[in-house]
């Protein structure tokens, strides 16, 4: 009996330890280095505000951060846990200390409704149920033709369209193998959606669902873009980086 009680205590301790290890977050730079953070990064303008696990608040240009890889990694629920190789280099990049800005004006990575998955960093997040390529097209061919025309003009060539997860939703699946292509696809879809909302509001879908996948098959982000979001992206009142961080659902 005592032995079983001791085993139970040990297992409980390991479980608590795993919860502690899953705290925090990781920011991945485009040079491949990973920064362990106390909390998810936030975005202010063209900079990412990061609280390192040492307590230092630092600012990095968004151009130095791989937002797609960062969000994918943190969606796994691993906290600031890194591979041994990553730990060897995670302090190599010097941050620029900056005062902590007001959180009211920042876009924060959301990790809600994500089931923690134990494993290495290349574990793929579970795809969002329902948002996927369907076997039938959108019910209004003119909308499909208009969206395709804009995507072609915006140099988004590797894509497929279909009906969305609801009859009133339109779906686009785009192949994106880099952050540039990811952001380009988002902006192109927003532009196409905004054009339809302006020129043919009666035929416009209630939302456009966008699923981006790499050539290897890994997801690069899934979105359900609403009309107001498309207008904000098209007008430039919201940056594509901020939109990505706030709305990616994988």
DSSP string, 118-165: -S-TTPPPPPPTT-S--SS--S-HHHHHHHHHHHHHTT--SEEEEE-S
CB contact at 8 A, 21 and 79: yes
27 against 22, higher pLDDT: 27
Residue (of 203, 168, 174) closest to 187 by Cα position: 174
pLDDT value at residue 128: 64
Whether 50 shows a pLDDT value over 90: the answer reads: yes
Identity of the highest mean pLDDT range in 10-24, 128-142, 195-209:
195-209
Whether 18 shows a pLDDT value over 90: the answer reads: no
pLDDT value at residue 241: 95
Whether 127 shows a pLDDT value over 80: the answer reads: no
What CATH code would you report for 141-247?
3.30.70
- Cα 57 to Cα 44, 80, 175, 239, 245: the distances in Å are 13, 16, 35, 23, 19
No. of helices (H) and no. of strands (E), the chain? 7, 11
Measured distance CA(29)–CA(9) in Å, rounded: 40
Measured distance CA(157)–CA(3) in Å, rounded: 64
The pLDDT confidence band at residue 188, using thresholds 50, 70 and 90, is very high
For residues 158-175, average pLDDT = 97
Question: What token pair was written down for 246?
Answer: 């706030």
The pLDDT confidence band at residue 9, using thresholds 50, 70 and 90, is very low
CB contact at 8 A, 130 and 171: no
pLDDT value at residue 89: 44
Mean pLDDT of the chain: 80
pLDDT value at residue 53: 87
Q: In DSSP terms, which residues pair with 171 in a beta bridge? A: 162, 209
Measured distance CA(224)–CA(183) in Å, rounded: 15
For residues 23-40, average pLDDT = 89
Whether 158 shows a pLDDT value over 70: the answer reads: yes
- Cα 153 to Cα 160, 170, 190, 199, 207: the distances in Å are 15, 19, 13, 18, 21
pLDDT value at residue 32: 85
- Which residue ranges make up each domain of the chain? 23-108, 141-247
Whether 176 shows a pLDDT value over 50: the answer reads: yes
The pLDDT confidence band at residue 2, using thresholds 50, 70 and 90, is low
pLDDT for 217-227, tens place per residue? 888 999 999 99
For residues 151-160, average pLDDT = 94
Residue (of 166, 247, 168, 167) closest to 212 by Cα position: 247
């Amino acid at each position: 009996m005592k032995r079983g009680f001791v085993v139970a205590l040990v297992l409980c301790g390991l479980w608590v330890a795993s919860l502690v290890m899953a705290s925090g977050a990781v920011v991945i730079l485009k040079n491949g280095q990973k920064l362990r953070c106390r909390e998810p990064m936030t975005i202010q303008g063209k900079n990412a505000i990061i609280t390192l696990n040492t307590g230092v608040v630092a600012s990095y240009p968004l151009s130095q951060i791989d937002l797609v890889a960062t969000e994918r990694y943190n969606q796994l629920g691993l906290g600031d846990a890194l591979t041994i190789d990553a730990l060897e280099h995670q302090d190599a990049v010097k941050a620029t200390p900056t005062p902590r800005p007001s959180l009211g004006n920042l876009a924060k990575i959301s990790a809600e409704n994500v089931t923690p998955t134990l494993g290495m960093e290349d574990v793929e997040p579970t795809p969002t149920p329902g948002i996927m390529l369907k076997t039938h097209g959108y019910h209004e061919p003119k909308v499909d033709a208009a969206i395709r025309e804009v995507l072609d003009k915006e140099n988004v060539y590797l894509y497929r369209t279909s009906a969305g997860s609801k009859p009133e939703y339109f779906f686009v699946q785009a192949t994106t193998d880099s952050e540039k292509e990811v952001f380009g696809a988002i902006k192109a879809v927003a532009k196409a959606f905004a054009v339809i909302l302006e020129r043919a509001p009666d035929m416009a879908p209630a939302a456009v669902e966008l699923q981006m996948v790499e050539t290897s098959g890994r997801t690069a982000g899934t979105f359900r873009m609403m009309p107001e979001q498309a207008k904000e992206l098209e007008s430039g009142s919201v940056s594509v980086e901020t939109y990505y961080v706030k709305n990616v659902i994988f």
